[in-house]
Chains A and B, each alone.
Chain A
Amino acid sequence: MAQPVALKDPSRERILYRRRFLVASALMVAMLGVIVGRYFFLQIVKHETYKTQSDRNRIQLQPIAPKRGLIFDRNGVLLAENIPSYSLVLIKERVPDLDETLSELAALIAVDEDDIRKFKKRLRHRRPYQAVPLKFRLTEEEIARLAVNRYRLPGVDVDAQLVRNYPHGELLAHALGYVGRINEREMDEIDAVNYSATNHIGKLGVEHFYEQVLHGTVGYQNVETNARGRVLRVLERNPPEPGADLYLNIDVNLQRVAHRVLGDERGAIVAIDPADGGVLAMVSTPSYDTNLFVNGISTTDYNRLRESRDLPLFNRTLQGQYPPGSTLKPIFGLGALHYGVVTRRTTVPDPGWYSLANDERVYRDWKSGGHGYRIDMHQAVVESCDVYFYDLAFNMGIDRIHEFGQRFGLGELTGIDSDNERSGLLPSRDWKRSVKGSHWFPGETLNVGIGQGFMLTTPMQLAVSTAVLANRGERKVPRIVRAINGEPLPTPLKPRVELADESDWDFMLQTMEDVVHSAKGTARNISSKLDYRIAGKTGTAQVIGIVSHEDYDPTQVAKRQRDHALFVGFAPADNPRIALAVIVENGEAGGRVAAPIARKVFDAYLRPDTIKHIEPIKLEKMRMTRPSNGEEV
């Protein structure tokens, strides 16, 4: 190696080195000063700030969800409970690669596209470090698989929480409603503090109507957590106040009988205790399993329910608006007596048809040939004579029909403690003018007189008005809930229906009894082997389809254009304990189809021991055995 020519000067180099090191030392002292200054600043000047921040890191105020109130039937049978459910949750900040983790999870347990899509939607509305659920209701095996693989899945956790469960599933769907996960719209409306730990909210029915009572009050705890949010120590606890338990008027056994007896048919049954307006049963078929909705129903399940032609999601008891047909004849009869339009002895000839002057139209009786030439009100109700009620309605006029119908709550909400109730329609001149934009024609009054035309009622309204009859004018607002936390709820009253001659009540109730118990009554077929007395009225209503879907299947078209079968009634006739309304869509005949169903429900409530086996109705089979001598249409 070539050596440099110039000679080194050791002492000069030593001095140079010392000078340079002195400069470096000065720099080091300055930089050290900066470091010391920085730590002084952080640890002394800003100590309080960082101490607070460190405590805030460590200690978290966590809300604790209150336990949702339970729901029982009138006999203490549990209808809605809270069961522990395990969900798979992810904390996004802790997950290194979200897509990779999701695909790894999909390999471990069943996570489908739908889960992931909904998870990503939830991911958009969350606080940092909040655990977001991916899949609910994990099975034991899934929990075990996740536990084994958890070490390689950071940010993935299994979360346990109490979730609503409906042990009776579809049996009480339309009465109870259900809870579901809080959506964005609800998020804006609820009390953010009280719901800070709550994931579910009542969406429908009792669960929705009594949400405030059922929810309870949120609690808090101060906890020490690590950065992963795992609770290490509870420092202070302020327990939540659980929601109140609800006791319903509904008798789950009666509900089950009513549900079974309707079988696969579309229909509704409402049973009310006339004494207090308590709803003993409210059934709308077909129904659906409310448990599907609790943690978000899958798109396939939801589409299946939504697109079904039988409208299982539709609550027929409160939302189904049907022409009541002949079931309103007792009420209109009482109205005519009250206004003095007729007396009990007034008779009308029935040749099988009726017509008005200046009106070419012929209004037919369901019985061709008519019921006879001297039909009085008793016979007209017992045999359901249409011509008598055409004449009665014509003489009474739409104004008085409207006024009297209102007293029984027709055409207005019953005020039941549930939601989405519809008011039906009790037509009037004002209504016709404002909605239809034309004046009232006398012929339209005739159709209203037999519960057709514009007239619409819900099964709940029919049951309530029947209870008013059974109570001889006392009106009570129907109630699904009987007591909150054992504390009975008061029964709201409405003004009593007063009659000019109060003895007309006895006359009409006796007449309704004869509908079932006399030889010519339209519901005489249900009186066999009956050791108590039923008062009732059959009805058969021409279809004004409630089905909005287009229907192209010709056999189905025919079927769905058949008349609705109705029955209203109460029992025992001398001391009414149950009033009910039955409707079977396209059931064809009230007496033949709806009345036997009512009998089963009466039996189940009044003679529970006689009920052994419930045979569902089968309309097709009944058509085969149709009597040839004609029946009410």
Chain B
Amino acid sequence: MSNSDFIRQLPRDHHERDANGTLLQRLRIDLPLLLLLLIVTGAGLVVLFSASDSSSAMLARQGRYLLIGYFLMFAVAQVNIERLKRLAPFAYAGGVLMLLGVMFFGSGAKGAQRWLDLGGFRFQPSEVMKLVVPMTLAWYYAVRPLPPRFKYVAIGLVILMVPSLLIARQPDLGTAIIIGSSGIFVLFLAGIGWHIIAIGFGLIAAAAYPIWVYLLHDYQRGRILTMLNPELDKLGAGWNIIQSQTAIGSGGIEGKGWLLGTQSHLDFLPESHTDFIVAVLAEEFGLRGVLMLLLLYVLLIMRGAWIGITAKHSFGRLLAGSITLTFFVYVFVNMGMVSGLLPVVGVPLPLVSQGGTSMVTLLVGFGMLMSIRADERFIHQ
């Protein structure tokens, strides 16, 4: 009996076994994850309230997104992991088609085409791909002996590159980075050889110049240059970075107090409720607040890591690992760019920044983690 046959048998007595567990187990909910998520999103609302100048309307809107996100998280958690796995290639094909659709018929703002109009309903295919790409790669490697042979690595890279390049062309560098890294994490965790990794780094280094000249848009080059020296353009692109660093630095250890941040409340800080919200947190709650948030993130990542490590079959293991590491990328890129370590790319602070799409995607990702966990628990028993 092959491995896959064994897995296919699982659903048969799945429900009767589940019925014997606790209420949470029967609901396929991972309590540590749920508690941490509730704390982070709750704290996020507190910061957002301040960042939006005490706008209850914005708070209500974010609350609605959270409700939708949590609902979808629970819904995804109910889906058997095997079913998710079988769904992956079809979702991938559909996603790539939609990205092509965006390229030809999409609508957008500020020179970027990211949205697809589906009869009055605006939809961002790239957001879905953040989960579909690692799912597809995990599906692809789940049935192959690991570490993968060179041929499978190559095919995996193609699976990864097609949507990443389509999204980078929109252009949406932030999402392309998230999707690219989520796919690379699957490959890495699948055990591709260190020599391939070394070659990959070598190629990236060699390609850096052509990418800089041919692939990047002027505004993206500008952002990188501005990051390296914000003083270059004090009132233009450098303004955001100088003001966010000032907000963070002026917060000190203790912070200026909730709703008392001058940088954000006097409108010096741009995008204070979206990508730059961590500067509001740093200004009002100080280094203590930043470390508290980082601790919560670390705990979430540790729980995700645990779910991955304890997963018994490859698909869940690879997917859980990729989701967890990608979550870290969100944190690192966002906090790095706001503090002036990295160029400004559109990556939100996960679970805190205002905005529905990223919130829903992230929570759905955690729903998948819960689903993986629930099915592992079953195997244990």
Contacts and interface: CB of A to CB of B under 8 A. Distances in A.
Interface of A: 3-4, 6-10, 12-14, 16-18, 20-21, 24-25, 28, 31-32, 34-36, 38-40, 42-44, 46-47, 49-51, 53-55, 57-58, 93, 128-129, 224-228, 232
Contacts of A47: 249-250, 252-253
B325 A54 contact: no
Q: What are the nearest 10 A-B pairs in CB distance?
A: A50-B249, A54-B250, A226-B266, A227-B267, A42-B249, A43-B287, A6-B145, A16-B191, A226-B267, A227-B268
Contact of B246 (A21, A25, A54, A225): A54
Contact of A43 (B268, B290, B301, B313): B290
Given A13-B146, A47-B252, 4 more contacts: A10-B313, A31-B332, A40-B287, A43-B282
A43 B317 contact: no
B346 interface: no
Given A54-B250, A58-B266, A8 B144 contact: yes
Nearest to B325: A24
A39 B4 contact: no
Contacts of A24: 185, 188-189, 321, 325
B336 A39 contact: no
**A14, A39, A53, A57: which has the most chain B beta carbons within 10 Å?**
A39
11 contacts: A4-B143, A17-B189, A17-B308, A36-B291, A36-B294, A38-B339, A43-B248, A47-B249, A51-B252, A54-B262, A128-B235
B38 interface: no
Interface in B58-85: none
Most buried by B among A3, A7, A50, A55: A50
A21 B309 contact: yes
Contacts of A42: 245, 248-249, 282, 339
Q: How large is the interface on B (under 10, 10 to 19, 20 to 34, 35 or more residues)?
A: 35 or more
A39 B145 contact: no
Contacts of B248: 39, 42-43, 50
A58 to B, nearest CB: 5
Given A16-B147, A21-B309, A40-B287, A54 B336 contact: no
Contact of B312 (A4, A8, A10, A227): A10
B287 A20 contact: no
B335 interface: yes
Given A3-B4, A20-B188, A54-B262, A46 B249 contact: yes
A44 B268 contact: no
A25, A35, A46: residue with the most chain B Cβ atoms closer than 10 Å: A35
B252 A43 contact: yes
Interface string B39-59: 000000000000000000000
B2 interface: yes
Given A4-B144, A8-B146, A58-B266, A39 B287 contact: yes
Nearest to A54: B250
B354 interface: no
B125 interface: no
A466 B243 CA distance: 72
A201 B260 CA distance: 42
B247 interface: yes
B249 A20 contact: no
Interface string B218-260: 0000000000000000110000000101111111110000000
**Chain A interface mostly:** helix
Given A35-B294, A53-B250, A226 B191 contact: no
A122 B91 CA distance: 59
A32 B248 CA distance: 17
B298 interface: yes
A563 B169 CA distance: 86
B246 A53 contact: yes
A366 B286 CA distance: 99
B330 interface: no
B325 A57 contact: no
A44 B328 contact: no
Given A13-B314, A43-B252, A232 B287 contact: no
A51 B263 contact: no
Contacts of B191: 13, 16-17, 20
A43 B285 CA distance: 11
B249 A17 contact: no
A51 B234 CA distance: 18
Interface in B276-309: 282, 286-287, 290-291, 294, 298, 301, 305, 308-309
B253 A57 contact: no
A46 B21 CA distance: 53
Nearest to A224: B266
B199 interface: no
A25 B286 CA distance: 27
Contacts of A12: 146
Contacts of A58: 262-263, 266, 268
Given A20-B188, A28-B328, A50-B248, A43 B286 contact: yes
A44 B314 contact: no
B341 interface: yes
Given A3-B143, A50-B249, A226-B266, A21 B321 contact: yes
Contacts of B22: none
A57 B263 contact: yes
A39 B339 contact: yes
A340 to B, nearest CB: 82
Interface string B135-150: 0000000011111000
Given A21-B321, A25-B305, A58-B266, A32 B298 contact: yes
Contact of A10 (B3, B147, B266, B290): B3
Nearest to A53: B246
A95 to B, nearest CB: 12
Given A39-B339, A227-B266, A51 B146 contact: no
A50 B252 CA distance: 9
A43 B245 CA distance: 9
Contacts of A7: 2-3, 145
Nearest to A34: B341
Contacts of B294: 32, 35-36
B358 to A, nearest CB: 19
Nearest to B262: A58
A35 B337 CA distance: 10
Interface string B313-349: 1100110010001001001100110011100000000
Given A43-B251, A47-B252, A226-B266, A38 B336 contact: yes
Contacts of A20: 188-189, 191
A21 B294 CA distance: 20
Contact of B336 (A35, A50, A51, A224): A35
B250 A51 contact: yes
A129 to B, nearest CB: 8
Contacts of A50: 245-246, 248-250
Contact of B335 (A13, A35, A53, A225): A35
Contacts of A128: 234-235
A55 B252 CA distance: 14
A146 to B, nearest CB: 21
A28 B301 contact: yes
B142 to A, nearest CB: 9
A38 B312 CA distance: 38
B289 to A, nearest CB: 10
Contacts of B189: 17, 20-21, 24
Given A10-B3, A43-B251, A38 B341 contact: yes
B292 to A, nearest CB: 12
Contacts of B188: 20, 24
